[in-house]
Structure 1
Amino acid sequence: MKNSRRTSPNYGYRDSISWPTTLALQMGSVGLIVGFEDFGFLEWWYDQNYGELLRGKCLHPAQFWEIAGRAVYAGGLGGWDVSYSIIENEKGMFITLDPRIREGHPEDPQRLADIVAAFTEIPDLAKIARPGTTPTLLIDKDGNYQDMPA
């Protein structure tokens, strides 16, 4: 990942405080997305939607946070409700999980756009220009990877 100006404490993590429980971390040039209740769904989702397109690419931090927001949305379309407790310091994190089965959220392009806008901190990404689409920093109008300068 390209360098970020994000100044969050320790690991610069963000989470979805509502279901699904997902945690995204930015550690310098490395970004991680963890879905606590998906049993591999988010990995499959990423491979299907972005694996080939983004393989070997160096993402801008806003692009990473867009993927994190989209992962939260995708993870919320079905399955589990997992609450968690987290303790962190400069040496690491300790996370405990409490899973429960529950119904997923219905598909909603505006909800997706709102989540992406919140995770990227770019309010304009919440504006849907065409029904059924959401703005993106990842893909250009021709369907190719959109490189963003650092």
Structure 2
Amino acid sequence: MPLVALGALVLGAAAGAGAVLWSQDQPERAPFRGDEHAVELMLLDVAPGRTPEGSASASTLEIEAGLLLSGVVTSTVVGIDPPRGGLEVRAPALPVTVSPRARYQSIELELVIDDCEAATGWTPGDRSFTITWRDEHGRVHLDRAGDFDPATGRALARHVHALCEDE
């Protein structure tokens, strides 16, 4: 009987050591995070820009917008570029951070018309704002963005055309 117990002890120790060695040889898998870096720019409202005196600006539109994190990695939006030539985007509040605890951040953008001929070629079907953001791991991402409802798209196009007709 003592010989059987000793044999079981040796086999158990060997099996345990083998299991430990096997688990150490396996690469550690990163947890699945889905679309962890997704940051969206949403355009909510458009109005003619105002000068410091309160009158309408001849070449600026004010856009109420929002940044939404749909992933799980905290990200800082560092730049928003215009949908096409002839336009410039000013985003004085940047950089803006969105995180799993604060997924939505409201921002104000100014869209400045530099060249009416190029700017009036934009249509609401174009979704070509570009956002640049840096995730919490230091990686930089560049993505097309600028979701809006049809009414906001029509208002944006209408305001661009109205400002360019005045010039």
Give the TM-score normalised by the residue count of structure 1: 0.25
